[in-house]
């Protein structure tokens, strides 16, 4: 798990860290610029969640076919994934290029924000297709055990993006001062470099995921009926979640430029703490899928239980015996808030309530993150029996 999850965690952490740095750079241009870029990027946010849904669902089947060493179906899954992501990227790119002002007016009526956002959106829209291909290839590389490659490529491209932003936003040295347009140019070039490097590596070193035949884009009814019923709910889940989050941004923008600028900065910080779930989720998809491909169904289900326990319980990564025991007993979640036994003279009633609430709060926090994590496991392994959840608020009772 660690060999797959850690590179994903580091890549997400790197991406969010540099995104935060970019926000700070654009922040030097004023609140209107921060708000404009944040709202213009809602189009990419929507399409990137489509990419994530497609890549997550493709990982389910890529891992199974990789476990079975079925190269033909690996190529077909990649062909289908690239087609869906590519069509989505093309539609959003054309909409952003042809109707940028109309798109910005969906989010805000502030004319200054709209004009700045249009200048950014018209440039960065070109990069959507690059991102689509990159995300699918990165997922395929992780499935075949090459998780470090997407991490290193992302390290290069994101570093280039940050440097390009600095040079082109502020006009350092011989470079022109372009403001938010400079940020858009740097982002587009970095995404092009990322997809170019990934394609070169895939076609030079990993032919199993290099599409060289039209057969990868020919899918019969039997193949589609196997893929779509599982993939479609995953993709729709991401799309609807993205639409819901976008609705929040529309509401925030109605509160004024200051509000949307503040929310964008806050989200940039908050995203730094969201990366562990992404790593564990990706690792679960791949490892469970491989075991299914190897016809080890019972082990795949046991892996699913272990992943859920690992995610919920903070001590589980270093207590493998506990994880195995809980998984075999069917106990999926455990939260324990241990406090010393106390007497009534020490306000037992108040502390009892606090510790009990803390126990339930732990489960609620886990459940909040699991709304993104559990569907990946359920999709990968199939429906498992309803989870047994053990909640303990401990250590406080007395005469």
- pLDDT per residue rounded down to tens, the chain (399 residues): 556 667 766 766 666 666 667 777 888 898 889 889 989 988 988 898 899 889 888 888 898 898 888 999 999 999 999 999 999 999 999 999 999 999 999 988 889 999 999 999 999 999 999 999 999 999 999 889 898 999 899 999 989 999 999 999 999 999 999 999 999 999 999 999 999 999 999 999 999 999 988 899 999 999 999 999 888 888 888 888 888 888 888 888 888 877 777 777 777 666 665 656 666 666 676 677 777 777 777 777 777 776 666 655 544 444 555 555 555 555 544 443 333 333 333 333 433 343 333 443 334 444 444 444 444 444 444 433 333 333 333 333 333
d(CA 312, CA 17): 25
Residue extents of the structural domains in the chain: 2-286, 314-394
Q: Would you give the DSSP letter of residue 28?
A: T
- For residue 388, the model assigns a pLDDT of 38
The beta strand positions in the chain, using DSSP E, are 331-338, 388-394
How wide is the angle at C-alpha 187 spanned by C-alphas 182 and 192, nearest 5°?
A: 130
Name which of 341, 307, 311 is nearest 324 in CA terms.
307
């Amino acid at each position: 798990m660690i060999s797959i999850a850690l590179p994903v965690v580091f890549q997400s952490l790197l991406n969010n860290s540099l995104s935060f740095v970019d926000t700070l750079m654009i922040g030097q241009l004023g609140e209107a610029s921060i708000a404009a870029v944040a709202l213009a990027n809602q189009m990419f946010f929507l399409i990137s969640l489509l990419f994530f849904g497609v890549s997550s669902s493709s990982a389910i089947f890529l891992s199974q076919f990789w476990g079975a060493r079925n190269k033909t179906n690996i190529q077909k899954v990649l062909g289908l994934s690239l087609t869906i992501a590519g069509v989505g990227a093309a539609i959003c790119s054309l909409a952003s290029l042809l109707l940028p002002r109309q798109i910005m007016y969906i989010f805000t009526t502030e004319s200054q924000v709209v004009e700045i956002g249009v200048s950014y959106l018209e440039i960065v829209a070109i990069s959507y297709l690059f991102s689509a291909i990159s995300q699918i290839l990165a997922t395929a590389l992780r499935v075949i055990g090459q998780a470090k490659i997407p991490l290193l490529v992302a390290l290069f491209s994101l570093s280039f993006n940050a440097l390009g932003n600095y040079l082109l936003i502020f006009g350092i040295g011989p470079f022109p001062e372009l403001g938010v347009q400079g940020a858009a140019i740097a982002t587009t070039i970095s995404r092009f470099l990322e997809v170019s490097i990934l394609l070169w590596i895939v076609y030079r070193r990993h032919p199993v995921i290099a599409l060289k035949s039209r057969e990868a884009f020919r899918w019969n009814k039997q193949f589609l009926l196997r893929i779509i019923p599982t993939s479609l709910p995953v993709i729709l889940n991401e799309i609807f979640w993205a639409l819901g989050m976008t609705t929040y941004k529309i509401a925030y923008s109605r509160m004024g430029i200051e509000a949307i600028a503040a929310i964008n900065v806050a989200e940039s910080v908050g995203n730094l703490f969201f990366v562990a779930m992404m790593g564990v989720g990706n690792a679960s998809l791949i490892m469970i899928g491989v075991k299914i491909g190897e016809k080890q169904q019972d082990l795949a289900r046991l892996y699913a239980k272990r992943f859920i326990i690992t995610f919920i319980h903070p001590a589980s990564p270093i207590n493998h015996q506990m994880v195995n025991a809980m998984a075999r007993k069917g106990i999926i979640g455990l939260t324990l808030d241990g406090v010393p036994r106390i007497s009534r003279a020490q306000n037992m009633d108040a502390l009892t309530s606090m510790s009990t609430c803390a126990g339930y709060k732990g489960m609620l926090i886990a459940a909040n993150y699991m709304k993104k994590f559990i569907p990946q496991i359920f999709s990968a392994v199939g429906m498992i029996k309803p989870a047994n959840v053990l909640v303990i608020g401990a250590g406080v009772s007395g005469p």
